[in-house]
């Protein structure tokens, strides 16, 4: 599965960007703007927050370009910045509501049968944190440990929020359960689902 962040970036553009060349920075921005905004929108759940996170993410990335060592593709380095900024935005906005549940339901809803359903409405029905964890885990491929680290919470907290998201999706889609793994595939408008579970 290809990621919207999996875009080529010429070494010369990156080097010029590190030196503060405005044209290079504009090139980087234009190449990754849609991917950054898309991820921010999925995690935050609204356009205004996504625009704020997009802005803050690029500012942070451009300020940190000299520290980017190229150990991972640039887009994936940028994706981590966006995820962190989006989670911080949720916390700052006091939308990072802590409704911790000790019980963790490890089963995910079977949404493979709703491949033609617009899941945007389902995502909108989720509380901000469960939606963010669901997206980071199933779509972006983050582990519970990575989500916990980015959000400043525990692995159990990440798992409980994913469980909440699964439960809400089950309610929305008739209580169906899945016995085989199922991560969400992109694009996310009319979606097909196959893959792994927590």
Q: Of 3.40.50.620, 1.10.10.10, 3.40.50.300, 3.40.50.2300, which CATH number belongs to 99-198?
A: 1.10.10.10
Instruction: Report the predicted TM-score, pTM, of the whole model to 2 decimal places.
Output: 0.62
**Cβ 84 vs Cβ 78: under 8 Å:** no
> Could you say which architecture CATH assigns to the domain 11-92?
Orthogonal Bundle (1.10)
**Cβ 35 vs Cβ 75: under 8 Å:** yes
Strand partners, 184: 193
Q: What is the SS3 assignment for 140-180?
A: CCCCHHHHHHHHCCCHHHHHHHHHHHHHHHHHHCCCCCCCC
**Cβ 130 vs Cβ 90: under 8 Å:** no
Q: Which residue has the higher pLDDT, 185 or 167?
A: 167
What confidence tens digit (pLDDT) does each residue in 43-92 have?
888 899 999 999 999 999 999 998 898 888 999 999 999 998 998 888 77
């Amino acid at each position: 599965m290809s990621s919207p962040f999996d875009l080529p970036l010429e070494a010369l553009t990156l080097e010029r960007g590190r030196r503060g060349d405005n044209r290079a920075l504009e090139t980087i921005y234009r190449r990754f703007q849609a991917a950054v905004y898309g991820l921010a929108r999925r995690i935050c759940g609204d356009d205004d927050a996504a625009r704020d996170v997009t802005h803050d993410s690029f500012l942070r990335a451009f300020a940190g370009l000299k520290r980017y060592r190229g150990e991972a593709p640039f887009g994936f380095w940028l994706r981590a910045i966006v995820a962190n900024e989006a989670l911080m935005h949720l916390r700052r906005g006091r939308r990072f509501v802590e409704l911790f549940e000790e019980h963790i339901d490890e089963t995910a809803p079977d949404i493979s049968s709703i491949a033609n359903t617009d899941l945007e409405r389902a995502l909108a029905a989720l509380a901000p944190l469960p939606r963010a964890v669901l997206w980071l885990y199933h779509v972006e491929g983050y582990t519970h440990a990575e989500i916990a680290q980015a959000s400043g919470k525990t692995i159990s907290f990440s798992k409980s929020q994913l469980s909440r998201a699964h439960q809400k999706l089950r309610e929305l889609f008739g209580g169906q359960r899945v016995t085989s793994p199922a991560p969400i595939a992109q694009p996310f408008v009319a979606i097909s689902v196959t893959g792994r579970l927590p």
